[in-house]
Structure 1
Amino acid sequence: MLNLKTITAGALGLSMLASATLAETTLKLQSVTPGSADEMVMLKSFADDVRDLTGGELNIEILPTGAVVGVQETLDAVDAGLVDAGFAWTHYWSGKHPAAMLFGSPVAGAGVGMDNFAFMSWFMNAGGKELYDQLWDEMGMNVKGFMVQPAGPEALGWFKEPIETMADFRKYRFRTPPGIPGQTYKDIGVASVAMGGGDILPALEKGTIDAAEWCCPKPDSVFGFQKVLKHYYLQGLHQVVVNGDVYFNGDVFNGLTPSQQKAIEVAANASLMKTYAYRIWENGKALDKLINEDGVILHDTPADYFTEYMAAAAKALETNASENEFFAEVWQSQKDFARTAIPFWAGAQTSNANLGRAYAAELAAEK
């Protein structure tokens, strides 16, 4: 087992020292995703922005999963300085602190109706960022984090046969995310099985699981789920909000100049909007191909799913808040934000959703 805490202080920012004589700094950032993933495309765009904003002084080399350490060691590797930076979804570290879920994947929109746009409003304007910075101290991690890639809402997932009620759903062994979102499925009687993205298709082919969720039409189709399952449901609650983050070793980040630190912050904020734009277009193209070329049938999620999952998610949030003071503080902040912001945002989005669904219905009628 790799003991990352034995890394010497001299290893911190090794790539920085090696390039200092050239007045350039190159940081190595390892992702938890493979080189072919869409997340890598967006990470490289983030790195390009950092390079351009610093006039070439600061470069970020993007490495795929496993290049230095395994997925589960990524945050520890950043903390210890074995790599300068990492990319993952913060709910991956819920085992280190339950509040990580409230930043990476707050189950059922934190139970207060947040989507990814509303979440970003809370994060950037209503105290979320300050709590996010505190999270790393709560974990005892020497890390400076930046949110860079929102992904929600994620699809409910893929099934062999149509599901009309939760009774149908409970017949399947279902791949889910780890942590509270997956546990919530267990709480409503679904046989939830957590596994990595690369393991899902082989598990479906072997019959280890019967149904699965991963993300959204583009990433799902890249994994090839449509080869095995043909019934697809877009509306799910387990990851209405999902955020991918970049983590820098704290000493490495503090060793950068103020202008370089600001360049990272600006590039991270730009990545949020770039990611929204990228994902809507890419997922739209992928869904069109799934339906019109790959024989996938798109369904609406059964109504009783929403009531059952919401109730179980609310109970899970209450339980964690009662057991952890910082979790309770973060969740209270989200609830305070939601009381003011969500009535406006939900009402405005209803118009957009109804307009979009009407147009989608027109397209379906033409076929």
Structure 2
Amino acid sequence: MDRRAILRRSALAATAAAPLAAPAIVHAQAPALRWRLTSSYPTSLDAIHGAAQVFAKTVAELTEDRFQIRVFGPGEVVPALQALDAVQAGTVEACHTTASAYIGKNPAFAFATGVPFGLNTRQQNAWMYEGGGIELLNGLFRQYDCYSLPLGTTGAQMGGWYRKEIRSAEDLKGLKMRIAGLGGTVLQRLGGVPQQLAGGDIYPALERGTIDAVEWLGPYDDERLGLNKVAPYYYYPAWWEGAANTSLVVNLQQWNALPKSYQAAIRVAAAEATHWMVARYDTRNPDALRRLIGSGTQLRPFPREVLEACYRETQALEQELAGRSPEYRKIHESWSKSRDDMRAWFRVAELSFDSFLAQASRR
């Protein structure tokens, strides 16, 4: 036998029998953390409240259960509309909320959710993740000792439930309506009376006649809240929310103290929950709308006169807010450029495709 072949086989055998060397560097185990997250959404709503549960579950899986986040419903720790304040104060580490509910602090918070006659779901996502929206908004959130990311999106919403028909802009005068964000400001400019109510409070308010109308979200949630039982007219579209993001808000000191791997887990989990939420609504809204119509709901489009009046007031409001709030002006400059660019592109591709299919399917 060839001597060199014998030597080679002997060397291979010795290598196979040798124990594996220990790694040169042993990484320190990531810390075990337990956070509390307060949600602004009723626990009965499995899509919008459920997004926070999906987020928390994903964070735990990505960190092998070392980073656990417990989700609380509204009122279990703080009321629904005090979620951001609780995070800022350090009462809880995080919350899942609608940023536009806090426009009383600064109107620029509306951009984290959606503004009247604004972006659709895909456009909002593009501006947030590739148009600099997340970074710009965190310039605002830092003023409140917070860090924020999108955590959920609803898609286009419905225009709400009304006790009486809306035939013209005149019918908005004196209308007491539960409506959040800058949509409420536009309604007020047209003579309406916007009301800020948490999700769990809107059914009894509408039932008692404390309010005349209410917008919440869309067929799937609206049916679960029973709004069709206390108001017969269901209008569309929600001109104030062509898309609506819900937000994860984290206490800034807590965010900065996290290991980079945990920050990455939060970013990934929030994006996962965002895609999950809109998919859940898009697959469940069609059947819910059919059930609502079948039970007697009167589905109505807003008259064009109403939409045009609201659009004019929205345009004027944008200019006024840009003149009053430096934060609003800075974010609006980026947002409006993205809006105009994407609308030009969508008219060429998305809108032409959707319009053809809408007409063809009728035939």
TM over 0.5: yes
Which of 280, 283, 299 is the aligned partner of 2:282?
Answer: 280
CA shift in 2, pair 1:266/1:22, >3 Å:
closer
Which of 155, 179, 182 is the aligned partner of 1:180?
Answer: 182
Name the aligned partner's letter for residue 315 of structure 2: A
Q: Match of 1:206?
A: 208
Q: Distance in 2 between matches of 1:183 and 1:95?
A: 11
Q: Match of 2:221?
A: 219
Which of 130, 136, 154 is the aligned partner of 2:135?
Answer: 130
- The answer on 1:337 being equivalent to 2:338 is yes
Q: Distance in 1 between matches of 2:197 and 2:31?
A: 43
Q: Match of 2:36?
A: 28
CA shift in 2, pair 1:327/1:252, >3 Å:
same
**Maintained 8 Å contact 1:118/1:345:** no
SS at match of 2:152: strand
CA shift in 2, pair 1:352/1:270, >3 Å:
farther
- The answer on 1:59 being equivalent to 2:73 is no
CA shift in 2, pair 1:303/1:274, >3 Å:
same
SS at match of 1:233: strand
Structure possessing the higher radius of gyration over alpha carbons: 2
Q: Distance in 1 between matches of 2:234 and 2:333?
A: 35
SS at match of 1:199: helix
Q: Match of 1:98?
A: 107
Name the aligned partner's letter for residue 136 of structure 1: F
CA shift in 2, pair 1:202/1:248, >3 Å:
same
Offset at residue 39 of structure 1 (A): 1.8
Please list, as runs of the form range in 1=range in 2, the aligned pairs for 1:117-156 lying within 5 A after superposition: 117-137=122-142, 140-156=143-159
Name the aligned partner's letter for residue 324 of structure 2: E
**Maintained 8 Å contact 1:28/1:83:** yes
TM-score using structure 1 length: 0.84
Name the aligned partner's letter for residue 238 of structure 1: W
**Maintained 8 Å contact 1:236/1:301:** no
Q: Match of 2:166?
A: 163
SS at match of 1:108: coil
**Maintained 8 Å contact 1:101/1:107:** no
Offset at residue 227 of structure 1 (A): 0.6
CA shift in 2, pair 1:23/1:329, >3 Å:
closer
Please list, as runs of the form range in 1=range in 2, the aligned pairs for 1:39-54 lying within 5 A after superposition: 39-54=48-63
Q: Match of 1:17?
A: none
Q: Match of 1:11?
A: none
CA shift in 2, pair 1:224/1:356, >3 Å:
farther
Offset at residue 322 of structure 1 (A): 0.5
Q: Match of 1:12?
A: none
Encode CA deviations 1:3-43: one digit per residue, 9 max, x unaligned.
Answer: xxxxxxxxxxxxxxxxxx99532211111122212322121
SS at match of 2:349: helix
**Maintained 8 Å contact 1:214/1:220:** yes
Encode CA deviations 1:96-128: one digit per residue, 9 max, x unaligned.
Answer: 21211122232221xxxx212101111111121
Q: Distance in 1 between matches of 2:191 and 2:71?
A: 40
Encode CA deviations 1:171-218: one digit per residue, 9 max, x unaligned.
Answer: 7433322x4210101212334333333222222222222222111111
Q: Distance in 2 between matches of 1:353 and 1:191?
A: 36
Q: Match of 1:256?
A: 258
Q: Match of 1:349?
A: 350
CA shift in 2, pair 1:204/1:54, >3 Å:
same
CA shift in 2, pair 1:193/1:72, >3 Å:
closer
CA shift in 2, pair 1:62/1:277, >3 Å:
same
CA shift in 2, pair 1:192/1:249, >3 Å:
closer
TM-score using structure 2 length: 0.85
Offset at residue 222 of structure 1 (A): 1.6
Q: Which moved more, 1:190-199 or 1:122-131?
A: 190-199
Structure 1 spans left out of the alignment, 5+ residues: 1-20, 363-367
Q: Match of 2:322?
A: 321
Name the aligned partner's letter for residue 323 of structure 2: S
Please list, as runs of the form range in 1=range in 2, the aligned pairs for 1:239-318 lying within 5 A after superposition: 239-292=241-294, 294-318=295-319
CA shift in 2, pair 1:289/1:259, >3 Å:
same
Q: For the aligned residues, what is the CA RMSD?
A: 2.2
Offset at residue 265 of structure 1 (A): 0.6
